[in-house]
A and B are shown apart, each in its own frame.
Chain A
Amino acid sequence: GAVVSQHPSRVICKSGTSVKIECRSLDFQATTMFWYRQFPKQSLMLMATSNEGSKATYEQGVEKDKFLINHASLTLSTLTVTSAHPEDSSFYICSAARETGLRGYTFGSGTRLTVV
């Protein structure tokens, strides 16, 4: 149990286009999901916290208009990288908070975004 599916696993896009990344909790409801970014050889950095039915809370320095987060249901959160630039190339990972049963966090497998 407690599986999070993240899609796509890899995406290459042209500069200026937008990319949507999906994060789904498959067998539990996640009222809270987190989005992280990982630069090469560095650890994960929290970008934003998304709560179902409300606006996401962004960490300092993260552009909310560039990284659009939608958490419209208890099992799905999406991150859209708008007008992508090469510097947005990174590894993006979501996690969902397990608030009942085995409490903690379940991570998606990540999305490697390359902007060319």
Chain B
Amino acid sequence: KNEVEQSPQNLTAQEGEFITINCSYSVGISALHWLQQHPGGGIVSLFMLSSGKKKHGRLIATINIQEKHSSLHITASHPRDSAVYICAVDTGNQFYFGTGTSLTVIP
């Protein structure tokens, strides 16, 4: 069993749709990261969370520490949001990564 599970693995959406990506983890963490990775490999850090909720533009990330679950929401999705979204948890000693959610937003 992986320490970090993401769902869905693949997601196709129409432009404008509301998108949710889920992340569950099984280890104790000091922080959870949501990352966006484009085909070239470069990673953009979207959020670093240790509790509650954060919002940046059309992106919202929430975390429930008791349930060991986090969600990434994208409102009014756009084709430029197409990328792989990765959930990663930092235990303080080590990172564990989800396998990513490949998002395609169709115009």
Contacts and interface: CB of A to CB of B under 8 A. Distances in A.
Nearest to A110: B95
Interface of A: 2, 9, 32, 34, 36, 38, 42-46, 49, 59, 91, 93, 95, 97, 102-107, 109-110, 112
B42 A105 contact: no
Interface stretch (B17-25, B33-41, B67-75): B33-41
Contacts of B40: 49
Interface residues of B, number: 22
A32 B41 contact: yes
A103 B102 contact: yes
A105 B94 contact: no
A93 B33 CA distance: 15
B43 A91 contact: no
A109 B94 contact: yes
B99 A34 contact: no
A99 to B, nearest CB: 11
A30 to B, nearest CB: 12
Given A105-B84, A105-B86, A110-B94, A2 B42 contact: no
Contacts of B64: none
Contact of A44 (B9, B43, B93, B96): B43
Tell me which of B35, B37, B40, B44 has the highest count of chain A C-beta atoms within 10 A of its own C-beta. Answer: B37
Tell me which of B33, B45, B86, B97 has the highest count of chain A C-beta atoms within 10 A of its own C-beta. Answer: B97
Contacts of A45: 43
